[in-house]
Amino acid sequence: MQPARPATQSMRLMAQETRAEHGPVPRSLGGHDVPPGYEMFADGQYLLRCASGYGYHYRPGCGIMIERPSSLCDPDEEYLWLNGSVYAAAACLNGLYPVHASAVEYAGRVFAFTGPSGAGKSTLVAALGQLGLPLFCDDTLLLDLTEPGAVMALPGHKRLKLTEHALALTGLMGEQPVGAETGKSYVAPPAGASAEPLPLAALVVLEQGPELRWAPVSGAQRLLVLDEDHHVQRLYTTALRPARAELFATRARIAAHVAMARLTRPHDAASFTAVTQLALDHILQSGTPA
Amino acid sequence: MTGSITKRPDQFSETAIDDEIVVMSLASGTFFSLAGTGRSIWQLLDRHSDRPVLLAELGREYGRDESAIATEFDEFVASLEQAGLVACS
């Protein structure tokens, strides 16, 4: 159980804890060798050694040490690891709950879209940005559960990235490519980006299906939605090793406070405008103060 | 079914979400979603343990004769006992 702290304090904590410098990282953690291509949590620390030669070591209170490969460095790869797995690992070790989701802000609350890689999370939030909703985060949503009675979300730290297909769907222009081989480009959020923690209003699962459909998720099914987020959940449970009852209580709190739905849609260009409009309609409807 | 039914709070965690009570077995990690009469029985077990009293209260809540709900009640309690969530004696 984390002590109570305002979400703004969690933001400051993460800014402090993820300050990075360059230097050698250890080859082992907790007495266990960590070969290239592996990661490990031990002794409250995190060590990632990438196959490319990059290494990252996070130790609470000391920030992140980045070891560059002896051969050619790739700043894009360095950025992606640092702001992906390493940032999420540091967040977990500081008691934040990560969700694989992209999100927008409306009326002072956060509406997030989750699903596996390639589900269309970034594309949808980019399109909602074109309709005036500020980007809240892309790809990783961090939840702060330390404030009693609220599920607070921390604004994203990563730049919005879109595939060529997503650029074509939205009509947005890429600012610069993300590395040489990702096939993605960085994109400026059309309606800007949020900068302050806000309560999470809704979590929507993006699914592929023959017909466009928005189906609310209620009761125990909400716990299952949180359990579907395999990769990020593995990171969380590996980092903190919560007891079964503790993990249940954490998910139960999110499930009790956050509305959930499944947005099923055909994965084709012809449906894209209707999908975006349906998502917008539900956001406007649920985000309007009573 | 015998006379006394008691919850085993060291064997589960529970939470209320919408109209359901979700109970997780700490031993297996399995979820049980309780709604309707299942939810009512689970909540009655916080106040009573005697089977006749539980049946009478449930019958009163649903406007049914106790004999008409006894079989369904016993089957539900048996499933709770099998999951390790209650003890029957």
Complex confidence, ipTM = 0.86
Interface probe for A, chosen from B18, B31, B39 (most Cβ of A below 10 Å), is: B18
Question: What is the reported pTM?
Answer: 0.90
What is the least distance, in Å, from the CA of A138 to any CA of chain B? Answer: 28
| Interface contact flag, B18 A245, Cβ < 8 Å | no
| Interface contact flag, B13 A218, Cβ < 8 Å | no
Q: Tell me which chain B residues have a C-beta less than 8 angstroms from the C-beta of A255.
A: 15, 17
- Asked if the model's pLDDT at residue A2 lies above 70, the reply is no
Name the residue among A219, A245, A248 with its Cβ closest to that of B20.
A219
pLDDT tens-digit readout, A137-155: 999 999 999 888 889 999 9
pLDDT tens-digit readout, B13-40: 999 999 999 999 999 999 999 999 999 9
Chain A, 215 to 234: residues with Cβ < 8 Å from chain B are: 218-220, 222-224
| Interface contact flag, A219 B33, Cβ < 8 Å | yes
- Asked if the model's pLDDT at residue A207 lies above 70, the reply is yes
Closest to A121 (Cα-Cα) out of A80, A86, A151, A160: A160
Q: Tell me which chain A residues have a C-beta less than 8 angstroms from the C-beta of B22.
A: 219-220, 223, 252
Lowest mean pLDDT among A20-24, A75-79, A169-173, B39-43: A75-79
pLDDT tens-digit readout, A153-200: 999 878 899 999 999 999 999 998 887 677 899 999 999 999 999 999
- Asked if the model's pLDDT at residue B1 lies above 70, the reply is no
- Confidence band of A290 (pLDDT split at 50, 70, 90): very low
What is the least distance, in Å, from the CA of A81 to any CA of chain B? Answer: 33
Is residue A56 within 8 Å of residue A47, measured between CB atoms?
yes
